[in-house]
């Protein structure tokens, strides 16, 4: 028996989840592959505003903790959502919604506490809002009776 195609909504969500699943480890690699004396991407400059956070001086003396946080808080939930979507698991949309909302919170921290408005945070923020909206729409769609679709 052939499997049904994914809906357009689910295909869009798969694309965004895959993008973030790849992007988070690349960002982590960017954090971890630079040194203070060799930092072509400016990752060390991102640490100064982070040091204003509670425990900031202890946690953000190197790029290790920000890279780990990016991998764990953004990369893992997005990877889990992507795998569940591809396996057509009922919980997939809920995991995708959680991943999107975590990313909205992450970007909000960047925009409103750490760095202020900047193009990269605005783009990633838009992606986070769109994937959250797609996941919420899929949850809502799947709760409706079949004949009402």
- Per residue in 59-98, pLDDT (tens digit) is 999 999 999 999 999 999 999 999 999 999 989 999 999 9
Cα–Cα nearest to 92, from 70, 71, 107, 77: 77
pTM of the entire predicted model: 0.89
């Amino acid at each position: 028996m052939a499997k049904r195609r994914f809906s357009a909504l689910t295909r869009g969500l798969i694309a965004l989840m895959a993008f973030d699943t790849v992007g988070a480890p690349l960002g982590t690699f960017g954090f971890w592959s630079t040194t203070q004396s060799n930092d072509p991407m400016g990752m060390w400059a991102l640490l100064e505003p982070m040091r204003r956070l509670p425990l900031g001086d202890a946690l953000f003396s190197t790029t290790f903790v920000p890279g780990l946080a990016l991998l764990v808080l953004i990369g893992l939930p997005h990877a889990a959502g992507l795998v569940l979507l591809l396996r057509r698991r009922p919980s997939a949309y809920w995991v995708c919604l959680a991943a999107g909302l975590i990313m909205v919170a992450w970007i909000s921290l960047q925009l409103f506490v750490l760095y202020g408005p900047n193009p990269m945070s605005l783009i990633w923020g838009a992606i986070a809002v769109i994937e959250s909206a797609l996941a919420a729409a899929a949850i809502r769609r799947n709760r409706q009776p079949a004949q009402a679709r």
